[in-house]
Chain A
Amino acid sequence: MSLVYSGVLSHAPGITGRAHLVENTEKRDEFYAALENQKSEIMDSGAEAIIVIAAEHFANFFMNNMPAYCIGIGDSYEGPIEDPKWLGIEKTKIPGAPNLAKRLTKNIMQTVDVAYSEEWKFDHGIMVPLNFLTPKYDLPVIPVNINCQGPPLTPLHRAWAFGEALRRACDEVPEKIALVGTGGISHWPATPDSGKINEPWDRVFLGHLMRNDKDALLGYSDEDTYNDAGQGGFEIRTFITAAAAAQGQGDLQFYTAEIPIFAVGCTVARFSIE
């Protein structure tokens, strides 16, 4: 078994960019501590590379040629595309894992028609997780994108199948690989409603996720998600893919809706690899 870690975490730009504006600094620092713990768990797993399953925000893909799924096979990447002062993360170069990524992609293609790219500019969706999980940018990264921005969106059952394909591919290579899904649950980011969070909806979803209840997770419609969890809720795809890859129960290590200036319910969790 070479998938050695699977987890999820939030990625909103305010997590780094608006840290200085937060009133509830105690809760903010609890969140940062949970992320620090996640970093330690990934390091302790012996991971030689990390797959970041993200929901990018028009840094690379547009509606002229939008892949439902894409995997990065480049030598290196750059990011963030955003203004570094605004995001609170300096521009940097991030190492890729091209040989490993190509082998994974070839395997994934047995069941999922994943796109691939040797070029990839990271936005906050990947840079914020890396800022906490590999702050020295010394762990090779394999970026993965699930289109959660430009409808039509991939169905949830395909996101699950993609997770299964990732797992199979990881298990058939000798390298130790960590995987994180990064997205939001309910949130209305980049609108005047930024900061709105449907905590009850989040907690029900997280319950399904931690039980790795496939039927419940795949039971959401995009229409209901949009109405109850906002357009940001479409990013549950990344969490579902991470759960499908792990196949085991989850451990919700942190969740709070008490830092709304981060514009998302802040989440950190890991799954048992079964």
Chain B
Amino acid sequence: MSLYNLQKFLYELNRNESIQENYSENIDSLIAKYSLTDEEINALKEGDIGLLYVLGVNGQILMHYAALLGIEWFDYLEMMREGVRIHGPVRDGVYAMTGGGESFTNEEKER
């Protein structure tokens, strides 16, 4: 249920500009409305893409959230890989990493 709440918060944030406008200032009050674990709360406060990925946040929700935070594409991919390196495999959902974290694009490899 907690992952559901975590994703619900991000879903509302991603699609609601009025929530986005107040996000950084009011994050405590915004997330207080959702029943979340301490790990989830900290991940949101830190904008920890890697941990949120490992916790099982749906990739599409996480991708839109990363874009909202202004994270560049290749940095976003690397943050997810780093999350797996630190916290282990994705714990839930259907957006698991299938291999060892290699890049599939020349553009990223040559960066």
Contacts and interface: CB of A to CB of B under 8 A. Distances in A.
Query: How big is the A interface, by class?
Result: 35 or more
A191 B107 contact: no
Contacts of A175: none
B12 to A, nearest CB: 9
A193 B73 CA distance: 13
B105 interface: yes
Interface string A187-228: 011111111110000000000000000000000000000100
Interface string A44-59: 0000000000000111
B22 interface: no
A260 B104 contact: yes
Contacts of B4: 63
A151 B94 CA distance: 9
B96 A191 contact: yes
A172 interface: no
Contact of A81 (B15, B70, B101, B110): B15
A86 B67 contact: yes
B105 A261 contact: yes
A58 B94 contact: no
B87 interface: no
Contact of B104 (A13, A21, A82, A195): A195
B84 A192 contact: yes
Interface in A56-101: 57-60, 62-64, 81-83, 86-87
Contacts of A14: 73
A190 B62 contact: yes
B14 interface: yes
B86 interface: no
Contacts of A60: 15
Contact of B67 (A62, A83, A150, A191): A83
A194 B61 contact: no
Given A23-B107, A64-B8, A192-B97, A57 B60 contact: yes
Interface in A16-59: 17-18, 21-23, 57-59
Interface centre among B4, B61, B96, B104 (most CB of A within 10 A): B104
Interface centre among B59, B98, B99 (most CB of A within 10 A): B59
Interface in B60-93: 60-64, 67-68, 70, 73, 77, 80-81, 84
Contacts of B18: none
Interface centre among A64, A190, A231 (most CB of B within 10 A): A190
Contacts of A87: 67
A230 interface: yes
A193 B15 contact: no
Given A83-B68, A192-B77, 19 more contacts: A13-B63, A21-B107, A57-B63, A57-B64, A58-B15, A58-B60, A59-B14, A60-B15, A63-B7, A64-B8, A87-B67, A191-B96, A192-B81, A192-B101, A193-B99, A195-B103, A195-B108, A226-B94, A230-B98
